[in-house]
Amino acid sequence: KKWVNAQIASFEASSSSAGPDKASSVDERLGTLAVRLQLLNQQASKGIDDAASRLLAELPGAAGDIATVGQDASLLAHQVAGVVDRVSEVERSGQQTVAA
């Protein structure tokens, strides 16, 4: 709304004519602005539709990647737990050797 009002004010300030010609010029300018706004709206809608389509196309792959990362994290946690157990066994063995 502000942009439209600014465009009209800019046009009126630059126009020095008065009377019915000025009114028809303003009407023409408003018509031109309406067409520009419709084109901008169509471009924005197309951009949103394209982005939504890309998102929907990439979503299954992203979900698969997330599942793989979850499985990898679980496997890594299991491996870390195994390493911790081995380190604990080595520490106990070392303490028993020192105590003996």
Cα separation of 21 and 93, whole Å? 102
Write the pLDDT tens digit of every residue in 15-26.
655 555 666 777
Name the domain count of the chain.
Answer: 1
Q: Which amino acid is at 70?
A: G
Q: What is the pTM of this model?
A: 0.53
**Buried (b) or exposed (e) across 4-37, using 16+ Cβ within 10 A?**
eeebeeebeeeeeeeeeeeeeeeeebeeeeeeee
pLDDT in tens, the chain (100 residues): 788 788 778 877 776 555 556 667 778 888 888 898 899 999 999 999 999 999 999 999 999 999 999 999 999 999 999 999 999 999 888 888 877 6
Range(s) of the domain holding residue 80: 2-99
Question: What's the pLDDT score for residue 21?
Answer: 65
